């Protein structure tokens, strides 16, 4: 995000915020302490509190890209030339899913037909949020967000894995 965009919303550019947080002892503060400081001392709104805090943590080397407080998170999406219902069914129906995703043991926690699913991955430690969006009558988008990954290497591996898996799904559905 550009300095101009940050200044327009917060009154300061990135370098100024990073200096303010350094002076306040931000390098020794927890994520929650930085958020509280931005709120109480600078009146920063909740969305910007998180944006400034995460950016500061990345800038100061305390957080890597894709790293969240509970691990790493990746996101992969594909536009597939099928209506929404068959795309959703390819995930929701275990038999159809097995045709393109060899993994077993997934636990579906919640699902809203043709909209989203929350799934525990077969390692029982990481989570999937899968979103389904209509693009047109005969084109849909699927987004897989894989969270709570233990490190950057695992995140890179799963980003590649989901890219290949969604390519197999697209090939299967568009044939």
pLDDT digits (tens, 9 = 90+) for 121-134: 999 999 999 999 99
Taking the C-alpha atoms of residue 8 and residue 68, their distance in angstroms, rounded to an integer, is 26
Split at pLDDT 50, 70, 90, the class of 145 is very high
Instruction: With beta carbons less than 8 A apart as the criterion, state whether 102 and 161 touch.
Output: no
Q: Which fold has domain 68-174?
A: Alpha-D-Glucose-1,6-Bisphosphate; Chain A, domain 4 (3.30.530)
164 pLDDT more than 80? yes
Taking the C-alpha atoms of residue 87 and residue 71, their distance in angstroms, rounded to an integer, is 29
pTM for the predicted model, two decimal places: 0.69
Taking the C-alpha atoms of residue 131 and residue 114, their distance in angstroms, rounded to an integer, is 8
- pLDDT at residue 62, as a whole number: 82
119 pLDDT more than 90? yes
What does the H/E/C string look like for 63-124? CCCCEECCEEEEEEEEEECCCHHHHHHHHHCHHHHHCCCCCCCCEEEEEECCCEEEEECCCC
- pLDDT at residue 85, as a whole number: 97
Which residue intervals of the chain bear CATH 3.30.530.20? 68-174
Q: What is the pLDDT of residues 62-84, one digit of tens each?
A: 877 767 777 899 999 999 999 99
> Phi and psi for 147 in degrees, rounded to 5?
-120, 165
Taking the C-alpha atoms of residue 69 and residue 85, their distance in angstroms, rounded to an integer, is 34
41 pLDDT more than 80? yes
């Amino acid at each position: 995000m550009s300095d101009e965009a940050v200044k327009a919303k917060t009154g300061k550019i990135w370098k100024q915020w990073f200096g303010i947080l350094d002076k306040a002892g931000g390098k020794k503060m927890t994520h929650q302490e930085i958020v509280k400081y931005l709120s109480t001392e600078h009146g920063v709104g909740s969305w910007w509190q998180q944006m400034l805090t995460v950016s500061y943590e990345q800038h100061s080397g305390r957080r890597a890209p894709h790293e969240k407080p509970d691990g790493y998170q990746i996101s992969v999406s594909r536009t597939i030339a099928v209506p929404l219902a068959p795309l959703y069914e390819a995930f929701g129906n275990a038999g159809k899913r097995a045709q393109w995703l060899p993994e077993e043991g997934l636990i579906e926690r919640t699902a809203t037909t043709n909209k989203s699913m929350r799934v525990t991955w077969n390692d029982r430690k990481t989570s999937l949020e899968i979103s389904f969006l209509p693009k047109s009558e005969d084109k849909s988008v699927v987004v897989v967000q894989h969270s709570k990954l233990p490190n950057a290497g695992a995140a890179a591996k799963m980003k590649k894995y989901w890219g290949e898996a969604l390519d197999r799904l697209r090939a299967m559905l568009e044939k």
